[in-house]
């Protein structure tokens, strides 16, 4: 008997799992977690900032890794000693072709884990920004999903609205990485390694309310930027619907990679 596509009910029954590494108390999975749940993906949160142990390899039964943001640097192992294990986890995920979604600090950790360089940026980005796709970005499944929903057209080029809060940036991509999104303030706004490991410098997981709440924890990035958070949050609020319309499809496109990973893993082990 020939083999055909795996029925959708089988994928639902085995519950794809994403392990989310929370590096900061103010940045849980939030919207991204909600969007993953729409496709039946179970998100299990490791609260590293509270002392939960971060595995250094992808645990059995995990089909995706979500590395979240935080105020520390990607190599601040003294202040955040779990980062060493998190970088090892991300390396193992890439090696085993387990989908990765790194957001802000998470994207910097992914780059650092694979031999890229993370440094203090010349420009600190806090608030609403616009990022533009590279040629490879236009052709990428996850970025193209965001582009298909975006309505912002600046200077004749379609660009994506993004919420930013960072002072570090990926100064040098890992060998073999593909640059997907960029802007003048920060060249590496998104990249992909292999077919399913993604780093996004922005914060698609938050909304204007969360953005404004971060002002209560005035970190070095906010102080350095001189940003008026109230004004910045107003701009974020104005683009709230478009931000969701942009990043929800991108997240769902990445979620499909997780589901594919789950299906192929379960079929090969059966």
Residue 3 in any domain: the answer is: no
Residue 113 within any structural domain of the chain = yes
Tell me the pLDDT of the chain (270 aa) as tens digits: 333 443 343 334 578 999 999 999 999 999 999 999 999 999 999 999 999 999 999 999 999 999 999 999 999 999 999 999 999 999 999 999 999 999 999 999 999 999 999 999 999 999 999 999 999 999 999 999 999 987 656 655 689 999 999 999 999 999 999 999 999 999 999 999 999 999 999 999 999 999 989 888 767 777 788 778 888 899 999 999 999 999 999 999 999 999 999 999 876 655
Asked, for residue 152, whether it belongs to a domain, the answer is yes
Rounded Cα distance between 84 and 94, Å, is 16
User: Is 155 part of any domain?
Assistant: yes
Whether 1 is in a domain gets the answer no
d(CA 166, CA 94): 24
> CA-CA distance, 208 to 237, in Å (whole number)?
5
CATH number of domain containing 47:
3.40.50.880
Which residues form the domain of 30? Answer: 8-269
State the Cα–Cα distance between residues 172 and 115, nearest whole angstrom. Answer: 9
User: Does the residue 41 lie in any domain?
Assistant: yes
pLDDT of residue 267: 62
CB 220 within 8 A of CB 126: no
Q: Which residues form the catalytic set?
A: 104, 203, 205
Q: What is the structure's pLDDT at 12?
A: 43
What is the reported pLDDT for 228? 82
> Domain tally for the chain?
1
pLDDT the model gives residue 149: 81
Evaluate whether residue 56 is within a structural domain: yes
Cα 253 to chain centroid distance, Å, stands at 13
Residue 91: its pLDDT value, please? 98
Residue 93 lies in a domain: yes
CA distance 163 to 211: 8
- The pLDDT, as a whole number, for residue 269 is 58
| Residues with Cβ within 8 Å of residue 30, at least 6 apart in sequence | 205, 206, 207, 210
Cα Rg of the chain (Å, integer) = 18
Largest CA distance in the chain: 66
Residue of 53, 43, 49 whose CA lies nearest to 25: 49
Please tell me the predicted confidence (pLDDT) of residue 151.
65
Q: Are 191 and 111 in contact (CB under 8 A)?
A: yes
Q: What's the pLDDT score for residue 216?
A: 80
């Amino acid at each position: 008997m020939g083999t055909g596509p795996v029925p959708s009910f089988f994928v639902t029954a085995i519950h794809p799992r994403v392990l989310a590494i929370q590096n900061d108390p103010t940045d849980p999975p939030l919207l991204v977690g909600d969007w993953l749940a729409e496709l039946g993906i179970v998100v299990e949160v490791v609260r590293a900032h509270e002392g939960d142990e971060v595995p250094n390899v992808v645990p059995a039964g995990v089909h995706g890794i979500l590395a979240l943001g935080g105020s520390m640097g990607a190599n601040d192992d003294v202040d955040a000693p779990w980062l060493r294990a998190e970088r090892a986890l991300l390396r193992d995920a890439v090696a085993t072709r387990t989908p990765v979604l790194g957001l802000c600090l998470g994207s910097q950790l992914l780059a650092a884990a694979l031999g890229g360089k993370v440094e203090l940026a010349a420009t600190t980005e806090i608030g609403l920004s616009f990022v533009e796709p590279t040629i490879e970005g236009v052709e990428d499944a996850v970025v193209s999903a965001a582009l298909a929903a975006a309505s912002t057209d600046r200077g004749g080029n379609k660009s994506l609205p993004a919420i930013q809060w960072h002072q570090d940036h990926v100064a040098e991509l890992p060998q073999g990485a593909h640059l997907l999104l960029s802007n003048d303030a920060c060249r590496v706004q998104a990249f992909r390694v292999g077919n399913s490991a993604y780093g996004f410098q922005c914060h698609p997981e938050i909304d204007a309310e969360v953005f404004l709440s971060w002002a209560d924890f005035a970190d070095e990035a906010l102080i350095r930027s001189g940003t008026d958070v109230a004004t910045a949050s107003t701009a974020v609020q104005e683009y709230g619907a478009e931000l969701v319309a942009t990043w929800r499809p991108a997240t769902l496109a990445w979620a499909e990679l997780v589901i594919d990973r789950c299906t192929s893993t379960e079929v090969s082990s059966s």
